[in-house]
Amino acid sequence: MRRALFAALALLVAGATTAAEALKPLHTNGEVLPNSCTRVGQAALRGKLMAPKAAVVRPEDAWRLVHTLLCAPATAQSRAYLRSHMGKTVEQLVQATGIEDETSIVAVDAGLVNSLQQKGWAWEAEIDAYPEDVTVRFWSDEASVRSRTLRFEGGMWRIVATMDASD
């Protein structure tokens, strides 16, 4: 019993450390990039979606999807939420130094859904917001930039495309 309690406590501490590390700035190429899941970072992203100039359709719904992609913990509930906002396929662009860009249409499965959740590991995110299209771009580590494209279709926001670029 005591051993199980210590094991559970160790996992809890390890998880907290990982989450705390994710919120630290990212140092890359001599630059310091702010984490996008801090209160300040989230407020800035949400503000882009709520801005009257962007005229985003149902901006609160778009914000919940962006927040779940970038900042929410990986839970069964958050994965189910993401899955419910995807069709059967998404367009996927993969770019890497030294190889040709590869664009494909991929089936949505548990592995893809899991890979989309950043769990707080998102830095210097930017949003391009239009009434029915939102693209969020962010650093996922020192050498990788990703984007997720959302589109308002069938009365809801859906994840329709992903881009992963690595150096």
**pLDDT for residue 6 is more than 50:** no
**pLDDT tens-digit map of 42-68:** 999 999 999 999 999 999 999 999 999
Contacts 24+ apart (CB under 8 A), 43-47: 45/70, 45/125, 45/127, 45/136
**Phi then psi for 37, rounded to 5 degrees?**
-105, 5
How large is the average pLDDT for residues 139-155?
95
Q: Percent of the chain having pLDDT more than 90?
A: 77
Q: What does the mean pLDDT of the chain come to?
A: 88
Task: Give the β-pairing of 86-96 and 156-166.
Answer: parallel
**pLDDT for residue 20 is more than 90:** no
Instruction: Pull the structure tokens for residue 83.
Output: 């899955």
How large is the average pLDDT for residues 85-103?
94
| Domains of the chain, CATH where assigned | 26-166 (3.10.450)
27-41, 71-85, 123-137: least confidently modelled range? 27-41
Euclidean distance between CA atoms 67 and 25, whole angstroms = 18
How large is the average pLDDT for residues 15-25?
59
Q: What is the pLDDT of residue 162?
A: 98
